């Protein structure tokens, strides 16, 4: 039987699949459901210092080829997630989970990271540099100067394993520039990609979500080629010590296979998890294992990053 076991930053996971931040991870009940599913881990909803209600509803819609959202960073605040994770560490000492966070300003981001640094949290921290939906706040990772400053300041005091959640980039020069910055820091992973920001979905004569007059982040089937391009572009450019988490357009085991082929060490499921619930993890894992068995692959290492080019 092929194994879908994987490692990130030296931590082992029984399965390479987990939720994407934002889906099934706002409340402890949702996090417990993912934890008790076939997923290898979970990541929390991106936390801010204070709880946030987020944008007015309707703010998320599934559509035939994916989803559109403008949630606006609703979350229960860092203490809710950190307290839960600390409790979970005692209950599940052999498993590792991800805490996603970002501040409403660089200074708040540092307050959050210092809180994590000073806590007993021993899991992985994901700094979300790519929320597309807070009115008036651009996606941090599209501003390379600010990104480099935040990372430089953070690594002056943050010693726990840290990764970043990235928006999709669309230009080869941007892949080069972004990778050159990330390679300056002891990041453990980059997660490619967040939703494609600021799409617009029209039904009859109207938008389908209320915030920002209908503009929202696009996920699902629409975004797989962009996600794979980002995974592979960073696989080609980053120091081998920086691993890649692949997110975007995962509906089937075949999609996971492609993410891993492009270089991902772990693969996250967002829109499909929202549409199907946690049974999606079992289905997709079985589909991935069937592909691996057919090809004679026993482990993810047998094909990770081994995407073939045409001469």
Q: Residue 117: which residues within 8 A CB-CB, separation 6 or more?
A: 157, 158, 159, 160
Q: Which of 71, 78, 266, 269 binds ligand RRO (CB under 6 A)?
A: 71
Residue with tokens 């996603």: 100
Site string for ligand RRO, 92-131 (x = CB under 6 A): ------------------------------------x-xx
Q: Which of 292, 303, 301 is nearest to 261 (CA)?
A: 303
Options 6, 19, 41, 69; binder of ligand RRO; rule CB under 6 A:
69
Tell me whether residue 164 or residue 292 sits nearer to ligand RRO (CB atom).
Answer: 164
Beta carbon of residue 299, minimum distance to ligand RRO (angstroms, whole number): 31
Question: Which residue has tokens 């307290």?
Answer: 83
Closest distance of CB 289 from ligand RRO, Å: 29
Scanning 119-252, the segments in alpha helix (DSSP H) are 144-155, 172-182, 224-237
In the annotation, is 131 catalytic?
A: yes
Place of tokens 């949290």: 121
Q: Which of 25, 131, 235, 262 is catalytic?
A: 131
Question: What is d(CA 165, CA 181) in angstroms, rounded to the nearest whole number?
Answer: 14
What does the angle CA 255 – CA 191 – CA 71 come to, to the nearest 5 degrees?
90
Going by their DSSP bridges, the two strands 206-207 and 124-128 should be labelled as: unpaired
Residues forming the annotated binding site for FMN? 45-46, 128, 165, 193, 220, 248-249, 270-271
Per CB under 6 A, contacts with ligand RRO among 159-198 are 194-195
Does 269 participate in binding ligand RRO (rule CB under 6 A)? Answer: no
In degrees rounded to 5, what are phi and psi of residue 8? -130, 130
Q: Please say which residue, 268 or 285, places its beta carbon nearer to ligand RRO.
A: 268
Residues belonging to the binding site for substrate are: 45, 69-73, 128, 194-195
Q: Which two tokens stand for residue 207?
A: 């938008």
Distance in Å, CB of 108 to ligand RRO, minimum? 14
Q: Does the footprint of ligand RRO cover residue 154 (CB under 6 A)?
A: no
Does residue 49 touch ligand RRO according to CB under 6 A? no
Cβ(110)–Cβ(103) below 8 Å: yes
Q: How far apart are CA 131 and CA 120, in angstroms?
A: 27
- By CB under 6 A, tell whether 72 contacts ligand RRO: yes
- Choice from 103, 217, 253, 305 touching ligand RRO (CB under 6 A): 217
- Find the shortest distance in angstroms from Cβ 211 to ligand RRO: 9
124-128 and 98-101 as β-strands: parallel, antiparallel, unpaired? parallel
Tell whether residue 272 is a contact of ligand RRO (CB under 6 A).
no
The CA-based diameter of the chain, rounded to the nearest angstrom, is 53
Non-local (6+) Cβ contacts of 246 within 8 A are 192, 227, 228, 231, 259, 260, 262, 263, 264, 266, 267, 268
Is residue 193 a contact partner of residue 250, using CB atoms and an 8 Å limit?
no
Q: Least distance (Å) from ligand RRO to the CB of residue 209?
A: 10
Contacting range for ligand RRO; rule: CB under 6 A; set: 71-79, 81-89, 113-121, 147-155: 71-79
Indicate whether 248 belongs to the interface with ligand RRO (CB under 6 A).
Answer: no
Interface with ligand RRO (CB under 6 A): 22, 46, 69-73, 128, 130-133, 194-195, 217
The set of catalytic residues is 131
């Amino acid at each position: 039987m092929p194994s879908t076991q994987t490692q990130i930053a030296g931590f082992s996971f029984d399965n390479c699949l987990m939720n994407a931040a934002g889906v099934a991870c706002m409340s402890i009940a949702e996090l417990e459901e993912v934890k008790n599913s076939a997923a290898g881990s979970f990541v929390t909803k991106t936390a801010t210092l204070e709880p946030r209600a987020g944008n007015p509803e309707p703010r998320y819609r599934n559509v035939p080829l994916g989803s559109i959202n403008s949630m606006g960073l609703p979350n229960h605040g860092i203490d809710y997630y950190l307290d839960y994770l600390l409790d979970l560490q005692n209950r599940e000492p052999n498993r590792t989970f991800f805490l996603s966070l970002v501040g409403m300003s660089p200074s708040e981001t540092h307050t959050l990271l210092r809180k994590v640094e000073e806590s007993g949290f021993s899991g992985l921290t994901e700094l979300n540099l790519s929320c597309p939906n807070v009115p008036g706040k651009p996606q941090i990772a599209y501003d390379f100067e600010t990104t480099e400053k935040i990372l430089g300041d953070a690594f002056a005091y943050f010693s726990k394993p840290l990764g970043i959640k990235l928006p999709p980039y669309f230009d080869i020069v941007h892949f080069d520039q972004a990778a050159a910055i990330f390679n300056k820091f002891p990041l453990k992973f980059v997660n490619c990609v967040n939703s494609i920001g600021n799409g617009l979905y029209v039904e009859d004569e109207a938008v389908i979500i209320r915030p920002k007059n209908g503009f929202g982040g696009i996920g699902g089937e629409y975004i797989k080629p962009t996600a794979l391009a980002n995974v592979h572009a960073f696989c080609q450019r980053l120091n081998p010590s920086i691993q890649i988490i692949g997110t975007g357009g995962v509906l089937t085991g075949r999609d996971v296979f492609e993410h891993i082929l492009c270089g991902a060490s772990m693969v996250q499921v967002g829109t499909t998890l929202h549409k199907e619930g946690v049974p999606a993890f079992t289905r997709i894992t079985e589909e991935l294992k069937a592909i691996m068995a057919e090809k004679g692959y026993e482990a993810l290492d047998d094909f990770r990053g081994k995407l073939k080019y045409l001469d």
